């Protein structure tokens, strides 16, 4: 049921509620964050800043931050074909280009 809740929150752009529920992962046998969870968590970090993000208590891998830099570089240069090939399976791409709720994070 936990994965269904988390999937619903991500698919409906409720990133803040998603992050607030990440603490429930401690009740399960996760050894690390699934990549899509980490991508959504990084979106949250960009929105709230380092001080607020530190309260979450979860670290983001440097590789994820580097991947986002590449993603953002492709967005800025409007290389949509390359963007879709390289990042079409990421939460970032979903949020910006696919979500039926638009590309905005829903805060409540």
Q: Model's pTM, two decimal places? A: 0.92
Collect all residues with Cβ–Cβ distance below 8 Å to 23 and sequence separation of at least 6: 57
- Can you give the pLDDT at residue 17? 96
CA 34 – CA 105 distance, rounded (Å): 20
Q: How many domains does the chain have?
A: 1
pLDDT tens digits along 78-88: 999 999 999 99
In this structure, is residue 13 part of a structural domain?
Answer: yes
pLDDT tens digits along 23-55: 888 888 888 899 999 999 999 999 998 899 999
- Can you give the pLDDT at residue 35? 96
In this structure, is residue 23 part of a structural domain?
Answer: yes
Q: How would you label 2-29 residue by residue, b for 16+ Cβ within 10 Å and e otherwise?
A: eeeebeebbbebbbbbbbeebeebeeee
Q: For residue 21, what pLDDT band results from cuts at 50, 70 and 90? A: very high
In this structure, is residue 84 part of a structural domain?
Answer: yes
In this structure, is residue 78 part of a structural domain?
Answer: yes
In this structure, is residue 103 part of a structural domain?
Answer: no
In this structure, is residue 106 part of a structural domain?
Answer: no
In this structure, is residue 107 part of a structural domain?
Answer: no
In this structure, is residue 89 part of a structural domain?
Answer: yes
Residue 64: domain span: 2-27+35-98
């Amino acid at each position: 049921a936990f994965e269904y809740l988390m999937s619903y929150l991500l698919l409906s752009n409720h990133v803040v509620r998603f992050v607030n529920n990440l603490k429930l992962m401690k009740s399960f046998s996760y050894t690390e964050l699934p990549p899509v969870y980490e991508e959504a968590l990084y979106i949250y970090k960009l929105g709230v800043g380092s001080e607020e993000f530190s309260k979450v208590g979860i670290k983001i891998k440097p590789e994820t931050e580097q991947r986002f830099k590449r993603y953002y570089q492709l967005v800025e240069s409007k290389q949509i074909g390359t963007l879709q090939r390289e990042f079409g399976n990421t939460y970032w791409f979903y949020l910006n280009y696919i979500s039926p709720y638009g590309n905005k994070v829903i805060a409540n």
